[in-house]
Amino acid sequence: MAEERRQKLCSVILPTESMKAMAESVGVGSLQEDSCLALSEEVSYRIKEIAQDALKFMHHGKRRKLTTGDIDHALKLKNVEPLYGFQSQEFIPFRFASGGGRELHFYEEKEVDLSDIINTPLPRVPLDVSLKAHWLSIDGVQPAIPENPPPVPKEQQKTDSTEPLKAVKPGQEEEGSIQTKGQGASSAEVKGSSAKMVPLKMRMKPRSTHELSVEQQLYYKEITEACVGSCEAKRAVCVCNKCYLFLFQVRVNVVQNNLALLIYLMRMVKALMDNPTLYLEKYLHELIPAVVTCIVSKQLCLRPDVDNHWALRDFAARLMAQSCKTFSTTTNNIQSRITKTFTKALLDDKTQWTTRYGCIAGLAELGHDVIKTLIIPRLSVEGARIKAVMDGPVVSNIDKIGADHVQSLLLKHCASVVAKTRPLPDMVDQYKVDYGYLGTMLCSHVVKARAQAAFQAQTVNRTTLTITQPRPTLSVSQSGLSTSSGSRAPSIIKVPSSLTLMSTRPGTPTQPSPPATKYIVMATSAGAASTQQVRSVLHIHRVHMIVHSKVISVPRILIATPGLISPNIKVFKYTFILQ
């Protein structure tokens, strides 16, 4: 430190060569070494003096850059004539020349032909100074409008949240206070974790006032529109800004059982996670409850018997697994906490089928190890439970569907694990002994899984989420429910009319796609051989979301509706580019 300072303060003087060059430029040929030395000291001192004065002008001009104008004013203070011909450009090009063992930097003064100047067309008149007003803050909260800067850069967010005990940086406090305003109770943790160990004086604002602020309402509307609507540009602006609003939406929509919107929101969360420029760690406490809700909630839609909320659960489960993978650290222990939550719910006898399904899905997505240690041992118990529903007296249809789903889910996930862990041969009886009711089916699945292994490796994309449905259910696009505002929710996935054929259940109308919607249908067959085995039609929806002007191709959901459709229909791959 001291070294550094000393170096900075060390008096620097111009080299005597400069003096000689300057002397030559004004016509003094031979300058003695002594006079050069004396001159250079004097000149250096004067230059410093002028620079110091010029700095004053810079400060009063409220600028960060010293301009040539400042130097002129400083010269004027000293009763010296200003230097003409230098403008305050961003960049003053100095030319370099060397010769005779000397090096010289100089400012090239071109000869200008007056007639050239006269003949050149006049440049455009510069825009006049104008005044523009915008809201920097409304009741202490900075609105996210283009006039205001985007949120704090990721690096700073990272340092802020990973090193909360470090000296509080400017802006961090604000981060906390904004959230306090925006999020009410939940921000307590944020502040607590990031804003040092100072005695916290919470500034709680009743949520109602927050929601009622007109700007916030507008913002909410805008965000919803941008997310759900079809304008890419808008989405680009809005999606990135705040994720807490989405999570707020999740809560709203869970309450309202708006399946379609929930699916969008989950996709959005995925998009957020995939966005490398966002630093989500800070919002995990907001994100995870929302996602978990979507996995294990008892009811996610109005008509649980017909709507495909299972797909949502699967997708959310996968999302959960992904966030565990990305964000779990030794300090936050996300994975173990999540696992604990799921297991607890799974072990509870009273858990509903929907929740049970969610728990299993959530656990299954966490990887083979989890399946092996937590699910496979439970197979026989679950099998018995499923059997009780399937074979028992006629209970509600919902339970039956639920049991059915759980069964297929278990089979699907366990099969691959069992296939890997269990040595050949696959004996049905042995399976029955080991896994109870599900043994038989598991066995056949395992056999299939072993056979499919090779095929799957080549066809199924790693990032695709495959939801295999044992029986025909509805695709996502059919659940167009009204939003809170009462208007019809625009669907993200515009299903072209030709595809409605695949909707197998009669009586549930598919939403006709608006004529303006553009979509491109790409690729057709993906191998005839596979269709026989998969027995399913895959709709591959690829949703492009632009986040921070980066195209991220994210939730790619394969919704399989196997069953009634003739098995020789080829696998289609549709890419919808939402416009």
The binding site for another protein (CB under 8 A) comprises 2-3, 5-6, 8-11, 41-42, 44-45, 48-49, 52, 56-57, 59-64, 69, 73, 77-79, 90, 126-140, 142, 147-149, 168, 170-171, 173-174, 177, 195-196, 198, 201, 203, 205
**44 CB contacts (<8 Å, ≥6 apart)?**
11, 12, 13, 14
Tokens of 566: 């003739």
Smallest distance from another protein to CB 7, Å: 9
How far is Cα 378 from Cα 346, in angstroms, rounded to an integer? 9
CA 171, distance to chain mean position in Å, is 21
Q: Which is nearer to another protein, 76 or 251 (CB)?
A: 76
- For residue 490, is the peptide bond before it cis, meaning its omega torsion is within 30 degrees of 0? no
DSSP calls for 273-318: HH-TT--GGGGHHHHHHHHHHHHH-S--SS-TTTS-HHHHHHHHHH
- Can you tell me which residue has the tokens 């394969």? 558
Helix/strand/coil for 242 = coil
- Number of Cβ atoms within 10 Å of the Cβ of 129: 5
Q: Which is nearer to another protein, 200 or 529 (CB)?
A: 200
Smallest distance from another protein to CB 290, Å: 28
How far is Cα 257 from Cα 259, in angstroms, rounded to an integer? 6
Smallest distance from another protein to CB 541, Å: 37
Q: Which is nearer to another protein, 147 or 348 (CB)?
A: 147
Q: Which is nearer to another protein, 177 or 459 (CB)?
A: 177
Q: Which is nearer to another protein, 60 or 420 (CB)?
A: 60
Selection from 323, 309, 225, 218 nearest residue 269 by Cα? 323
Phi, psi at 558, each rounded to 5°: -105, 115
Q: Which is nearer to another protein, 169 or 251 (CB)?
A: 169
Q: Which is nearer to another protein, 191 or 413 (CB)?
A: 191
Q: Which is nearer to another protein, 203 or 488 (CB)?
A: 203
Smallest distance from another protein to CB 268, Å: 26
Our CA dihedral for 322, 346, 255, 510, rounded to 10 degrees, sits at 70
Q: Which is nearer to another protein, 199 or 425 (CB)?
A: 199
> Are 272 and 241 spatial neighbours (Cβ–Cβ below 8 Å)?
no
Smallest distance from another protein to CB 231, Å: 23
- Number of Cβ atoms within 10 Å of the Cβ of 142: 15
How far is Cα 82 from Cα 126, in angstroms, rounded to an integer? 26
Smallest distance from another protein to CB 260, Å: 36
Smallest distance from another protein to CB 76, Å: 8
Q: Using CB atoms within 10 A of its CB, is residue 542 exposed (0-12), middle (13-18) or buried (19+)?
A: middle
- Which long-range contacts link 200-205 to residues 24+ away (Cβ below 8 Å)? 203/177, 204/180, 205/180, 205/181
How far is Cα 452 from Cα 13, in angstroms, rounded to an integer? 80
Dihedral-angle region of residue 192 (phi above 0 means left; psi in -120 to 50 means alpha; beta otherwise): alpha
Q: Which is nearer to another protein, 20 or 73 (CB)?
A: 73
Q: Which is nearer to another protein, 61 or 562 (CB)?
A: 61
**80 CB contacts (<8 Å, ≥6 apart)?**
none
The DSSP output letter for 375 is I
Smallest distance from another protein to CB 2, Å: 4
Smallest distance from another protein to CB 168, Å: 6
Smallest distance from another protein to CB 281, Å: 21
Q: Which is nearer to another protein, 5 or 462 (CB)?
A: 5
**121 CB contacts (<8 Å, ≥6 apart)?**
none
Smallest distance from another protein to CB 90, Å: 8
How far is Cα 160 from Cα 173, in angstroms, rounded to an integer? 10
Q: What is the per-residue burial (b if ≥16 Cβ within 10 Å, else e) of 39-53?
A: bbeeebeeeeebeeb
For residue 463, the surrounding DSSP H or E stretch is none
The DSSP output letter for 101 is T
Q: Which is nearer to another protein, 71 or 578 (CB)?
A: 71
Smallest distance from another protein to CB 566, Å: 59
Smallest distance from another protein to CB 97, Å: 29
